[in-house]
Amino acid sequence: MTDLRKDLTTSPDLQKHHKGTGALRQRIPVYEDLMPPCNHACPAGENIQAWLALVKQGKMEEAWRSLTENNPLPSVHGRVCYHPCEDSCNRLELDSTVSIHAVERYLGDLALEKGWRHKVVTATSGKRVLVIGAGPSGLSAAFHLCRLGHDVHVFEAGPVAGGMMHFGIPAYRLPRNVLDNEIRLIKDMGVHFSFNHKVSDVLKEMQTGQFDAVFIAIGAHISKKVDIPQREAGKILDAISFLKEVEEGSRPKLGRRVAIYGGGNTAMDAARTAKRLGYEPLIIYRRDREHMPAHDFEAEEALAEGIKINWLRTIKEINQSTFTVEEMEIDENGRPRPTGRFETLEADALILALGQDTDTSFLKSIPGLVFNNDGTLMVGPDMMSGYPGIFAGGDMVPDQRSVTIATGHGKKAARNIDAFLKRQDYQPTTKKPIVGFEDLHIWYNTEAPMREQGELSVQKRVENFSEIKAGLTTEQATYEAGRCLSCGNCFECDACYGSCPEDAIIKLGPGKKYKFNYDLCTGCAVCFEQCPCHAIEMVVEPTFTNI
């Protein structure tokens, strides 16, 4: 707001007004774009409102390019992101959130269908950057670094790019052709990929390859273990190994009944995958549904598919196909505690889904690096570690773990790596105030229910790994984008123009918005009150001296 007022003090219109009238007004209206809550909540930093507005106008390629300025994988994120943007959407106060993820998926799929390609217009910098790991964070960093003009090389220990998106997310949620095609667009920009290349000595790789900086994003692929007393146990394996085997085309021999131990999203994925392979899965989890780490819709979909979830149970002993479990109860702090009551469950195999860790042991010899007890690497606000030029992100640094958060890390690291290579400090744009629902002045008819995505019936979906959710049509995507309230940003509705009693508002033409004629403005605030999206603020009128 300070910069805005500074600009106002030099406005010829305002100076002329003060010379002629003696400053009768207390406050004046100003146009100011503020922060929509969806943009603020997006871990990838997308300008959601901007690309929704372009979709509404039918400018689909422009919308895709606006979106991919921040996120190179819209088809992927439109399917697997847990869309915190929608949880923050002001439209929830009216009817239901804008289906942002569905429109994002539409744009990503349309780009693949139309053959749109990313453009690199920045001149080559002459700098080489190594990215270790081709998961969402590594791919994001590579994309943004390439756009910034750097020569980017990605070393991936596995045979393909995608990381846990490829091996950990089942195909019924993320079809592999979608993932592969969006990665191909990054390759086509000029990013170099080396597969089956496991890095064990980062400093040596940097020296050998003459890299000026490195971004490490190796992900969390090591399943956590638990000590369960066993007499004669059946087959036990971890969820990540199980999902990877299935992805590679294998069908592990697990008997008929399969127990999955855990309550996170990976546990739900493992159980639903087992169901599609013809097993009878049951989930065992020591907390209740309210306190599970999985998103509620994941449990809801698993239950709909006929998967039994044994809440408030912990495994105490395994004897062949008999599991002794203890009933738990939730204490006042939300933690499970034993009750001393036991029961038996039958299962032929056990899949452990208790979370994943990152193997950062290969970094321990690098001076200056600091690790947490869980092995995660400490980084600064610029995503750089304690060793100059070594940056890190994704699951291997302390933060919540999701594809979108990892993608945001990659973008943030790329911008700071670019600044590091230029011997500058990256200065992110100062965030503007967030517009809440109480700030809006909605006067028009807002009745417009969300268009739900089509989906396979439960009977059909458990037969194979076909994608469950359908995409939107162009008509549906345009309609859904039109439901956006444009919180904090002018969408040229003419409410201010039509309501001003003094004709003090000047239309500047389509896409150029408006300006105030302060010679005519009385500061009555009618424009402010009629602006539905709160794109007008009433500010204290600047005072002038020496005029």
* 164 and 198 inside one domain: yes
* pLDDT at 313 (0 to 100): 96
* pLDDT at 4 (0 to 100): 41
More confident residue, 375 or 19: 375
* 168 and 269 inside one domain: no
| Cα–Cα distance, 89 to 100 (Å, whole number) | 9
CATH number at residue 161: 3.50.50.60
Average confidence (pLDDT) over 210-215: 98
* 508 and 476 inside one domain: no
CA distances from 146 to 96, 130, 142, 152, 191 (A): 38, 11, 6, 6, 7
Classified as helix, coil or strand, 215 is strand
* 272 and 320 inside one domain: yes
Backbone angles phi, psi at 128, to 5 degrees: -110, 135
* 29 and 75 inside one domain: no
Alpha-helix residue ranges (DSSP H) falling in 233-336? 239-247, 265-276, 296-304
Closest CA to 484 of 80, 63, 69: 63
CATH number at residue 28: 3.30.70.20
| Cα–Cα distance, 497 to 475 (Å, whole number) | 30
Identify the sign of the CA torsion 202, 205, 210, 214: negative
| Cα–Cα distance, 100 to 85 (Å, whole number) | 8
Bridge partner list, 507? 514
Q: Residue for token digits 């998967």?
A: 307
Contacts of 442-447 with CB under 8 Å at 24 or more apart are 442/94, 442/485, 442/532, 443/495, 443/530, 443/532, 444/493, 444/532, 446/94, 446/95, 446/485, 447/95
Residue 233 pLDDT > 90: no
* 137 and 213 inside one domain: yes
* 61 and 51 inside one domain: yes
Asked whether residue 333 is assigned to any structural domain, the reply reads yes
CA distances from 439 to 155, 304, 314 (A): 48, 39, 48
Asked whether residue 170 is assigned to any structural domain, the reply reads yes
Bridge partner list, 400? none
Average pLDDT, the chain: 92
| Cα–Cα distance, 471 to 185 (Å, whole number) | 21
* 227 and 334 inside one domain: yes
* 282 and 366 inside one domain: no
User: End of a domain among 421, 437, 466?
Assistant: 421
- Terminal CA-CA length for the chain: 23
| Cα–Cα distance, 303 to 296 (Å, whole number) | 11
* 217 and 227 inside one domain: no
Q: Compute and round to an integer the Cα radius of gyration of the chain.
A: 27
The band of 231, judged by pLDDT with boundaries at 50, 70 and 90, is low
What is the CB neighbour count within 10 angstroms for residue 54? 20
Burial of 503 (0-12, 13-18, 19+ CB in 10 A): exposed
* 204 and 248 inside one domain: no
* pLDDT at 21 (0 to 100): 40
Asked whether residue 216 is assigned to any structural domain, the reply reads yes
| Cα–Cα distance, 4 to 242 (Å, whole number) | 57
Asked whether residue 430 is assigned to any structural domain, the reply reads no
CA distances from 529 to 90, 523, 534 (A): 18, 12, 8
Classified as helix, coil or strand, 336 is strand
Q: Which tens digits make up the pLDDT trace of 432-465?
A: 999 999 999 998 888 898 988 999 999 999 999 9
Q: Which tens digits make up the pLDDT trace of 81-133?
A: 999 999 999 999 999 999 999 999 999 999 999 999 999 989 999 999 999 99
Contact 138, 114 (CB under 8 A): no
| Cα–Cα distance, 460 to 468 (Å, whole number) | 9
pTM of the model: 0.91
User: End of a domain among 340, 356, 372?
Assistant: 356
Q: Which tens digits make up the pLDDT trace of 355-407?
A: 888 999 999 999 999 999 989 999 999 999 999 999 999 999 999 999 999 99
Number of domains in the chain: 4
Classified as helix, coil or strand, 315 is strand
Q: Which token pair is 540? A: 């204290």
Q: Which tens digits make up the pLDDT trace of 147-185?
A: 999 999 999 999 999 999 999 999 999 999 999 999 999
* pLDDT at 430 (0 to 100): 87
User: End of a domain among 333, 356, 379?
Assistant: 356
* 211 and 234 inside one domain: no
Q: Which domain holds residue 369?
A: 128-221+359-421
Closest CA to 303 of 273, 328, 283: 283
Asked whether residue 301 is assigned to any structural domain, the reply reads yes
Q: Which token pair is 36? A: 């929509």
Closest CA to 162 of 180, 175, 150: 180
Contact 310, 285 (CB under 8 A): yes
| Cα–Cα distance, 145 to 150 (Å, whole number) | 6
Asked whether residue 438 is assigned to any structural domain, the reply reads no
β-pair type (235-238, 349-352): parallel
Asked whether residue 121 is assigned to any structural domain, the reply reads no
Asked whether residue 201 is assigned to any structural domain, the reply reads yes
In the chain, the amino acid numbered 112 is: L
